[in-house]
Structure 1
Amino acid sequence: MIRLSTFLIALVLLLASCSGAPDVEIPEEVASLENVTVVTDSFEDVPELNPERVARFGETEDVLIGRIGSSVVDENGRVFLNDTDQKVIHVFNPDGNRIRQLGREGDGPGEFRSLGTLRISNGFLHAMDASPRRISRFTLESLEFHSSISFSEDSAPVEFGFPYTYFARPDSSYLIFFTGPFMRDRDADEMVWESAVLNPDERFEEDAFLTIPANEWLVISGEGFMRAFPAPYGRKSLIAMNSDGTLYHTWSEHLLIKSYSMEGQYQQAIYYPYPKASLDRSDVMSRVKDRSEQDQSHLRNQNMPSTWPAVDALHVDDENRFWVSGVTENSEEWKWMVFGPGGSPLATFTWPRSTAIRHIQDGFIYAYETDEETGLAEIVKYDFDL
């Protein structure tokens, strides 16, 4: 690995262009940054993980689940599933047996109208309810409702007011990312996620925390209607937070992981020159064959990029290792890469795209899957040795 300043990165970029070396590419976004670790080590010499399935969490004969939304795992290995249809949280022990459910549909304490993202922090299970703009907290020790924190986007230092996602930070504050609706007078490429810190006293910090690009969508509009949908090749923002409150952001165009302090200040970055898969228009269209003819026609007329994004997902585990899924030429698989906290390649493995990793904790991978026999969604727990 090479740690470079802005000057040295620019020098490397210049030398590469002068030498005519086609396999050396340092994007301008990387060249403009300070404190960048360029990972030059290969994944060819690292171990290949072989995760083994050990438990599943989902619907059974005795437990009916509408639709699995967010999920989290606590330090005891208990799994919490957000049932977006029934507006409840299902709690399972580490072996996959359901313990109980939390909450119900309603407006009272511990009840939900639009149950969203779950988080674990500071001895609490946190649950976002986007419609009334509040976060409910349940104690992990007793699994009982503790309290809720309400907020108004009108008091947040942001332009847009819909809470897209959030993180529970170690100082008991919340980092909330907001987004807004698509509008006729605003290009979809100009959409951003704005973030602000909500303190325990239900007041936002005066200054915005961080603004990052919103996921790319295609917008169809006409007289009296407007509709948006994500293009299969759309670039997107990937965000994660470790237990210390450090925020990580990757724009999926490159495998570039930026870190930000609790104050929202850029700290450093890790860049790995992962090769992007070439994009074929017929492949893109085959992925939207179930959409309306209008959507397909709109996509067909787009000026598509020549490549797919470099990466699709980013996670940070409880040992501050980065797990990144790389896009490959095989449309059915991801290439997962595991980096050490400083960027050293540690392991790799290939998994089907139908297996979506949610968490990595205590030597286990928790992934969202659909059972091939029953067609039911579930969270599957895998053991791995690294």
Structure 2
Amino acid sequence: MKYRVPFSLIIVSAIIISCGESDNKLLNEIIDPADFAETTHTLNQTVLIEETDDFFFGNIRTVQPTSQGDILVGDFTAMKFWVFNPNGDLIGEIGKEGSGPGEFKQLGKAYVGHNDTLFVMDWSNARITAFTETTPGKWSHQLDIPIVRPSGEMLTGFYHFGTQGMTGQYSPGFSASGEDTNTQPQISRINRAGEKVGDPIATYRQIDSKIQRGTNWAAQYPIPFGKNGYVRESDDAIHVADNEFLGATTFNLDGDTLHHFRHNFVQRPVTEDLIHDRFNGDFTTDFYKAVSDMIPQERPAFDSFQADNEGNLYFSFDDVTEDSNLWLKYRSDGELLASFNIPTGTTVQRIYNNKIYCSAGADDVPYIVIYEITEK
């Protein structure tokens, strides 16, 4: 992976936490994915959405449920959202490519928030657009919130908490000249004008990466198997995880730490096969040459992180078996609630009301699949 733009580049990436006031809660459990050959829960497929003559999926960017069970699929190629009913039948579309009201030029983070409002970040149009459903399957543009870029920073994520307001995630940038900012990445409240207000809720740092510069350009290369981090939201809290450790911190919107836990874990090695797969066997690329001497010997504590609407936390461990990845579900205080497997090649987009909304088939024919978590 290589990202090159003229003059400057702002990193848009996953992030990791710097906690603040809370003491670490180091629990006695030692988590080893190999110990979960027998899981406590299984996944039942409830909905499968495949292409028909009426629509073709391109680059699926997000899958979002509504409280009524409808399914919104954001497609970067089509530059719109497909609307499906709870049975998976196509019942509408949202938006189209363009710069006018309710149109998109670049789909970024999107989600269905409070009151079933769809919020969509569009970096090219420099705005966050909101839609609401007016009749079944028909969604109307409601308002736009400008994306304001503070000096040396970029808004990389956001979430609307209804009457509690909106938060934004801000990452520092770097330039071709080498004059990098020293701004501490942070989660902050933002107002309707798109401006940061008040003190930061929490701080975080960027994904491990290698930066190279040339004449009027800069390139960022994420380090494979490097340290990474995540910010996720539930109905009334912010959850931040750092894959240097197996754990997470939960904040309220005032920046108070509600829960923080950390488990011990068994290290997993970065093997030659994993490196071969990550670079598709091509070790001649600029990407490989830039990062080859920085690839760690040990994998991170976990490979992905999610939070559901109720505040439960989910950690994934890839390559535990040949055809599936292990997921562990925790309460926000660190109590293990469930273990289950998800097929390899499946991307978890959101977890809502005990259902997992996924996209899959990206390298072949994209499709949507929804699972329900069931105890064995």
Q: Same fold (TM over 0.5)?
A: yes
3-state DSSP of counterpart to 1:197: strand
Give 1:342's aligned residue: 333
**TM-score, length basis structure 2:** 0.81
- 1:167-203 Cα offsets, whole Å, 9 max, x none, are 1113262212133444353689x88643332223554
Contact (CA 8 Å) 1:240, 1:249: kept in 2 or not?
A: yes
Determine whether 1:314 maps to 2:305.
Answer: yes
Determine whether 1:275 maps to 2:266.
Answer: yes
3-state DSSP of counterpart to 2:275: helix
Give 1:217's aligned residue: 209
Q: Which has the higher contact order (CA 8 A, sep 6+)?
A: 2
Structure 2 vs 1, CA of residues 104 and 34 (structure 1 numbering), >3 Å: closer, same or farther?
Answer: same
What are structure 1's unaligned runs of at least 5 residues? 1-28
- 1:52-104 Cα offsets, whole Å, 9 max, x none, are 22222353221123321122111111111111122211111111111100111
Structure 2 vs 1, CA of residues 33 and 264 (structure 1 numbering), >3 Å: closer, same or farther?
Answer: closer
3-state DSSP of counterpart to 2:374: coil
Give 1:91's aligned residue: 83
Contact (CA 8 Å) 2:108, 2:123: kept in 1 or not?
A: yes
Give 1:20's aligned residue: none
2:314 to 302, 319, 323: 323
Contact (CA 8 Å) 1:149, 1:202: kept in 2 or not?
A: no
Task: Give the aligned residue type for 2:352.
Answer: Q
1:120 to 98, 106, 112: 112
1:248 to 223, 239, 245: 239
Structure 2 vs 1, CA of residues 63 and 57 (structure 1 numbering), >3 Å: closer, same or farther?
Answer: same
Contact (CA 8 Å) 1:35, 1:268: kept in 2 or not?
A: no
Give 1:25's aligned residue: none
Contact (CA 8 Å) 1:138, 1:147: kept in 2 or not?
A: yes
Question: Mean alpha-carbon deviation: is it higher for 217-226 or for 303-312?
Answer: 217-226
Normalized per residue, which structure has more strand? 2
- 1:6-33 Cα offsets, whole Å, 9 max, x none, are xxxxxxxxxxxxxxxxxxxxxxx99x95
Looking at structure 1, the residues matched to 339 and 147 of structure 2 have their Cα atoms a distance apart, in angstroms, of 43
Write the mapping of 1:1-386 to structure 2, written as runs, cut at 5 A: 33-34=22-23, 36=25, 38=27, 40=29, 47-123=39-115, 124-142=117-135, 143-154=138-149, 156=150, 159-161=152-154, 163-171=155-163, 173-183=165-175, 185=178, 193-200=185-192, 202-223=194-215, 225-244=217-236, 246-280=237-271, 283-288=274-279, 289-290=281-282, 292-300=284-292, 302-327=293-318, 333-370=324-361, 375-386=364-375
What's the Cα RMSD here?
Answer: 3.1
Contact (CA 8 Å) 2:349, 2:359: kept in 1 or not?
A: yes
Looking at structure 2, the residues matched to 332 and 222 of structure 1 have their Cα atoms a distance apart, in angstroms, of 42
Post-superposition offset of 1:333: 4.5
3-state DSSP of counterpart to 1:295: helix
Contact (CA 8 Å) 1:233, 1:284: kept in 2 or not?
A: no
Contact (CA 8 Å) 1:191, 1:214: kept in 2 or not?
A: no
Contact (CA 8 Å) 1:191, 1:213: kept in 2 or not?
A: no
Task: Give the aligned residue type for 1:113.
Answer: K
Structure 2 vs 1, CA of residues 149 and 207 (structure 1 numbering), >3 Å: closer, same or farther?
Answer: farther
Question: Mean alpha-carbon deviation: is it higher for 197-206 or for 163-172?
Answer: 197-206
Contact (CA 8 Å) 2:330, 2:336: kept in 1 or not?
A: yes
Give 1:11's aligned residue: none
What are structure 2's unaligned runs of at least 5 residues? 1-17
Contact (CA 8 Å) 1:59, 1:65: kept in 2 or not?
A: yes
**Identity between Structure 1 and Structure 2 (%):** 19
Task: Give the aligned residue type for 1:72.
Answer: Q
Task: Give the aligned residue type for 2:29.
Answer: T
Contact (CA 8 Å) 2:250, 2:259: kept in 1 or not?
A: yes
- 1:292-330 Cα offsets, whole Å, 9 max, x none, are 533222332x14323110112111223332111135566
- 1:358-385 Cα offsets, whole Å, 9 max, x none, are 222233221221078xx11222111221
Task: Give the aligned residue type for 1:295.
Answer: F
Give 1:26's aligned residue: none
Looking at structure 2, the residues matched to 117 and 274 of structure 1 have their Cα atoms a distance apart, in angstroms, of 31
Residues paired across the two proteins, number:
350
